[in-house]
């Protein structure tokens, strides 16, 4: 933490050279793995390049931990029976999943809770927009270079509450392709003078080091409200200024994409939404009947449903239900089944009907109309 040192120590006449030992890139990680695994008996399917590609943000100590975990699982498999057991590719990849890299341990990263994109029902358009705006720049920087354009810097997801914005980003973090740094708007704000701006700079610096990375500013309306209107002695204004500076790349961002999410886009400072900043606006609409059916299927993947349950028919009756309501409905139905009998083995149509009396539609038509009007204004240009 060089910034934490007494500046007098870093004066030009005292300690006058500074050498930064950054995070290893994929090629370096591969070389490190080669060396770390030099004495480890490896099966033929081991592909260290693939392991290196899966470990952005890992420092050499993390890679050593991967080696240890992989060796332990190989040893357990061979215990007693086959003392010549070797480390396989699957051991290494499992180990990658279980090691939490040091560079990400400072908090602020998004726990995916084991979610994957398969857990997310519907949202096809939103997923496609995110793939283009988030995964392309990270996976195909050469294509952007060839066409002579900069990759989009940021995306703003907006839509009514409970639409799955946060959920989708958690699933994206779980896909393992990139490091996700997440903050909630309010978390950064309530700090001492000057601390919030420092936290913003620190966030972007750490993401830059862990590239390819994604910075997720959840509830960004709290973080970047219209300037000049606040009552908190200008803290919010200074945070907006710091965010704009970072987004404009005072320190050039390499392979870092920023995604914001909000259910009140009109509160965000317009300067945040200019090209080069959160330029791509993606509307997450309230789910229609087909989308609700998809969401019910995804949310109910592990719920044993009785034969009399028709999710499509159910979905078509759930007008005004958000994605969160649909998920809550299934949860409530399962609880209803449990209340009847703790040994309940399936959830029936009757349970769902009871649950519908407890879980009401939460979408507010006025708010939805407002958001749709906003979406129309934006797409008209």
Residues that bind ligand ATP in the complex, under the rule CB under 6 A: 120-123, 161-167, 263, 295, 298-299, 323-324, 327
- Quick one: how far is CA 356 from the chain centroid? 31
Residues 30 and 34: their CA atoms lie apart, in Å, by 6
Question: Which residue's beta carbon is nearest to the bound ligand ATP?
Answer: 164
**Does residue 322 touch Mg ion according to CB under 5 A?**
no
Q: Which does 323 bind (CB under 5 to 8 A by kind): ligand ATP, Mg ion, none?
A: ligand ATP
- State the DSSP code for 131: I
**Strand, coil or helix: 110:** coil
Shortest reach from residue 293's CB to ligand ATP, in Å: 11
298 binds, among ligand ATP, Mg ion, none (CB under 5 to 8 A by kind): ligand ATP
Helix (H, G, I), strand (E, B) or coil at 165: helix
Closest distance of CB 259 from ligand ATP, Å: 12
Answer yes or no: are the C-beta atoms of 260 and 137 closer than 8 Å.
no
Q: Which is nearer to ligand ATP, 137 or 185 (CB)?
A: 185
Residue (167 or 204) nearer to ligand ATP, CB: 167
Interface map 128-167 toward Mg ion (x if CB under 5 A):
--------------------------------------x-
Question: DSSP letter at 214?
Answer: E
* Alpha carbon 102 to its chain's center: 18
- Report the run of H or E that residue 257 belongs to, with start and end: strand 256-262
CB of 275 to ligand ATP, least distance (A): 25
The answer to whether the beta carbons of residues 46 and 89 sit under 8 Å apart is yes
Please report how the helices 323-340 and 289-299 are oriented relative to each other, as an axis angle in degrees rounded to 10. 50
User: Minimum distance between the CB of residue 137 and ligand ATP, rounded to whole angstroms?
Assistant: 23
Residue 327 contact partner, candidates ligand ATP, Mg ion, none, CB within 5 to 8 A by sort of partner = ligand ATP
């Amino acid at each position: 933490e060089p910034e934490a040192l007494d500046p007098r120590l870093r004066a030009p006449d005292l300690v006058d050279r500074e050498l930064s030992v950054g995070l290893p890139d994929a090629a370096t990680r591969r070389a490190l793995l080669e060396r770390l695994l030099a004495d480890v008996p490896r099966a033929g399917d081991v592909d260290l390049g693939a392991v290196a590609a899966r470990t952005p943000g890992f420092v050499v100590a993390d890679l050593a931990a991967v080696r240890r975990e992989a060796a332990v699982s190989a040893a357990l498999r061979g215990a007693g029976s086959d003392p010549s057991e070797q480390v396989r590719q699957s051991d290494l990849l499992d180990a990658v999943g279980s090691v939490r890299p040091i560079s990400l341990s400072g908090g602020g990263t998004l726990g995916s809770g084991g979610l994957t994109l398969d857990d997310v029902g519907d949202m096809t358009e939103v997923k496609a927009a995110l793939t283009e705006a988030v995964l392309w720049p990270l996976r195909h920087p050469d294509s952007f270079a060839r066409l002579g354009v900069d990759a989009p810097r940021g995306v703003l997801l907006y839509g009514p509450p409970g639409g799955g914005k946060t959920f989708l980003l958690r699933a994206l973090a779980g896909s393992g392709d990139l490091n996700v740094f997440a903050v909630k708007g309010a978390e950064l704000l309530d700090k001492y003078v000057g601390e919030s701006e420092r936290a913003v700079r620190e966030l972007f610096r750490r993401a830059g080091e862990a590239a390819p990375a994604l910075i997720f500013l959840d509830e960004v309306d709290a973080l970047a409200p219209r300037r000049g209107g606040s009552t908190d002695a200008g803290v919010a204004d200074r945070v907006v200024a710091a965010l704009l500076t970072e987004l404009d790349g005072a320190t050039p961002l390499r392979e870092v994409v920023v995604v914001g999410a909000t259910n009140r886009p009109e509160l965000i400072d317009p300067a945040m939404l200019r090209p080069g900043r959160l330029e791509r606006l993606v509307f997450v609409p309230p789910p229609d009947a087909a989308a609700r059916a998809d969401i019910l299927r995804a949310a109910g993947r592990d719920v044993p449903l009785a034969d009399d349950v028709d999710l499509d028919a159910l979905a078509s009756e759930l007008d005004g239900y958000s994605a969160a309501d649909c998920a809550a409905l299934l949860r409530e139905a399962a609880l209803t089944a449990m209340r009847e009998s703790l040994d309940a083995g399936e959830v029936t149509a009757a349970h769902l009907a009871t649950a519908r009396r407890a879980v009401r539609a939460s979408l507010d038509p006025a708010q939805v109309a407002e958001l749709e009007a906003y979406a129309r204004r934006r797409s008209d240009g």
